[in-house]
Structure 1
Amino acid sequence: MAWYHSYFKGLPQVAWKLHQDEEYTDFEVDFLRDVLELKKGNQVLDILSGYGRHALPLAEAGCKMTCIDISAEYCDELSNAKTKRKLPVEVLCGDVLETDFGQGKFDAAYCLGNSLSFFPRADMLRFFTKIAGSVKPGGHVALHTENLAESILPNFQARNWMPVGDDIYYLAENEYRPEEGCIEAQQTFISGSEKVTHTVYQYIYTLAEISAMLESVGLKVVGTFGNLEADPFVLGDEQLYLVAVRK
């Protein structure tokens, strides 16, 4: 069973949500509306949606959202929010690699939140194949990662830590495995007397690898950006926003 099946619950789940910036999320939603060319009534797929920080405002703008995530806690939170606000959101709880979310059904799809590093190479190709198959020809796909090789490796940190909110501390010990293109990380979350540690495997890809895999499954890359202002991605940028079109 992959590490992410048991990761997103308890302290890690709480810490992830606390780490999100609401204003920045608003900027990301505006970015998605633009690059995905979203219109009212569009069917949109949110992959690894979490608690719906992008999906809920897009649903309020008139998009019909389908959201998939593996965290039961996040899915319950999203389901409760969409019911309370009476929004057109379908919530699918499960592993994205194993869940059927429809073929050729969506006008657009996106995966934001730094999740692309979850998958080793064979699974990544399966992941991209499923995304490509779900989107109509001409439909746009947006992807985001902070773990691209060009971002991580120039300033690789073997150890790092940071406070999350007022009560949680996050610590990581990282070992890069070049033969696997993978970072094995021991991630620890501490809050008061509670301490949770997970072993996490983050698979590191170059932009060329990502682009080649997308091309092989029928997704043509049309933009690679280092920020939400759409400046072209360059070596050392801390994150990548990639936009592709279904052939």
Structure 2
Amino acid sequence: MCEWYETSFGEDYLIVYRHRDFGGARHEVETMIGWLNLPRGAKVLDLCCGMGRHSLALSEAGYEVTGVDLSEALLREARSQDGAEAVTWLRSDMRKLPLEGGFDAVVNLFTSFGYFEEDEEQIKVLKEIRRMLKPSGRFIIDFLNPAYVIRHLVPHSLREDGENQIDESRRIENGYVKKDIILTSGTSGPPRKYHERVKLYSLEQFRGMIAAAGLQLEAVHGSYDEGEYDAEHSTRMIFTGVRP
């Protein structure tokens, strides 16, 4: 039986998340550049790069970028973008990367974390981030803020995108935020159903996993507008730190 993340990031993902724009990625990358404080030409790994929005913006900013994702459909979309030839694209599970490391920075963005049931599997991802980094290399992990998600959860929404109807149901269950998606396209066959699941981690739990992986946490931001993290009001929980 396939895990949810092996089936949910296909061609239909590009429909469901079409509204995620490249302009927003450029704004986020500008903020990240300030946090990372890296010289032009530095080597950056975008771990779980998806359709490549941030990889391409990092490349445009003058970095040598490698984008890794498990989804061939999303990588195909990334490779089709203007400027994609400047980025190295690789397909891989984030827990075991086919790379030697030597990166100046690793970024893991847009809640591309917490996909697995066992904490040890999440820690494997963090250990791979450490292995990818040079000593004194820096990392950014952009995760959701559990308290904000719980308080602002929209249980159900329905929207249309061209001939596509997108029905999304969300719930908090057994320590996870879960989403069920039903995609209906005009008269072209039965509805397609997908499931997404992210394990909710508090700041202290995340801090413990980062330490267990041998990484050093330096700061926690509440958004890309550089506000400090506030457990009740921040929309995100963005970790920045270093490999000692």
**Number of matched residues?**
239
**TM-score normalised to the size of structure 1?**
0.87
Cα displacement (A) at 1:222 = 1.4
Residue pair 2:97, 2:128 contacting (<8 A) in 1 also: no
Q: Give the corresponding residue for 1:191.
A: 185
Percent identity between the two aligned chains: 21
Q: Deviations over 1:123-165 (max 9, x none)?
A: 111111111111112111111122x3222223444x2214364
Task: Output the CA distance in 2 between the equivalents of 1:138 and 1:236.
Answer: 31
1:119 aligns with 2:116: yes
Taking a change above 3 Å as real, the CA distance of residues 216 and 172 of structure 1, as seen in their structure-2 partners, is same
Cα displacement (A) at 1:48 = 0.6
Q: Give the corresponding residue for 2:46.
A: 46
Q: Give the corresponding residue for 1:230.
A: 226
Residue pair 1:35, 1:140 contacting (<8 A) in 2 also: no
Q: Deviations over 1:19-74 (max 9, x none)?
A: 21333212111012111112221111001101211111221232111110111122
Taking a change above 3 Å as real, the CA distance of residues 94 and 224 of structure 1, as seen in their structure-2 partners, is same
Taking a change above 3 Å as real, the CA distance of residues 44 and 164 of structure 1, as seen in their structure-2 partners, is farther
Cα displacement (A) at 1:187 = 2.0
Q: Give the corresponding residue for 2:6.
A: 5
Of the three residues 126, 138, 141, the one matched with 1:140 is: 138
Cα displacement (A) at 1:214 = 0.6
Residue pair 2:210, 2:216 contacting (<8 A) in 1 also: yes
- Which segments of 5 or more consecutive residues in structure 1 lack a partner in the other structure? none
- Which segments of 5 or more consecutive residues in structure 2 lack a partner in the other structure? none
| Higher alpha-carbon deviation: 54-63 or 131-140 | 54-63
Q: Give the corresponding residue for 1:22.
A: 22
User: Any runs of at least 4 consecutive aligned residues in structure 1 with deviations exceeding 6 A, and if so which?
Assistant: none
Taking a change above 3 Å as real, the CA distance of residues 114 and 166 of structure 1, as seen in their structure-2 partners, is farther
Q: Give the corresponding residue for 2:202.
A: 206
1:19 match: secondary structure:
coil
Taking a change above 3 Å as real, the CA distance of residues 164 and 102 of structure 1, as seen in their structure-2 partners, is farther
Taking a change above 3 Å as real, the CA distance of residues 154 and 57 of structure 1, as seen in their structure-2 partners, is closer
Q: Deviations over 1:189-235 (max 9, x none)?
A: 23323522113322111111111111121222111111112111112
Of the three residues 98, 101, 108, the one matched with 1:100 is: 98
**TM-score normalised to the size of structure 2?**
0.88
**Which amino acid letter does the alignment assign opposite residue 238 of structure 1?**
T
Residue pair 1:106, 1:136 contacting (<8 A) in 2 also: yes
Task: Output the CA distance in 2 between the equivalents of 1:228 and 1:222.
Answer: 16
